[in-house]
Amino acid sequence: MNKNLDNDFDIVISSKSEIKEFNFESYELNAVEIATVSEQEKIFMNTYKKYKNNLFDMCSSLALIEKTLKPSNSFMAWYESKGLSKDAVSVYLKRWNLYLEFQNYKDKIFAYSDQAIKILTNKELQYEEVLGILENDIYKVKEIKKQLLPVIEKNKLEFLPAGQKFFNFNKIKRMEKRAKTLKDDEREEYKKELKEYINNLQKLMEEL
């Protein structure tokens, strides 16, 4: 599906319960028009479902490629060789990481527009604030912005200690929430990556 068309989906088709039959009888449509719409509707919906499944596979594969190439610092060179932009790759990975954090909401996460994903993965948001969007029937980007942008600005102030200009601790709180949702077989890998993250921060400290 064309990326622009994807971004135009204001309403997320996330489950069968949200799909309703179109009432042709309420409109002045002839038999040919009804038959045409019915046939093309099937094609459209089947294509959309395939697109969502393909998007899941794309994000999963990209995340694994990133993990594989990260030690050699060659991931950027790889995706640039495939004609992918940094922004596109970033959104794919953000969508995947959001799914890992909220796996019960797979359908919604892989149906949201790129713009919605960027908002939902803002580093200033806490676990409960993102969950509040996923739990409720909030699909339009306009509504997500209305709900979360004020929260983002509020969190920037709340989690920034007095006199501190560069960092806040909101990300650590999200990491704590994420750790609690991990399966047993994921914990060792999580600890390994966390140690690597801490080591990199230590190296940065030494270079300053």
The structural domain count of the chain equals 2
DSSP calls for 131-191? HHHHHTT---HHHHHHHHHHHHHHHHHHTS-TT--S--SHHHHHHHHHHHT--HHHHHHHH
Structural domain boundaries, residue 129: 3-158
Q: Tell whether 46 and 147 lie within a shared domain.
A: yes
What pLDDT does 15 receive? 39
What pLDDT does 42 receive? 84
Q: Tell whether 181 and 154 lie within a shared domain.
A: no
Share of the chain above pLDDT 70, in %: 81
Q: Tell whether 111 and 181 lie within a shared domain.
A: no
Provide the pLDDT confidence category of residue 37 given band limits of 50, 70 and 90.
confident
Please tell me which residue, 188 or 15, carries the higher pLDDT value. 188
* Digit-coded pLDDT (tens) for 111-129: 899 999 998 998 888 888 8
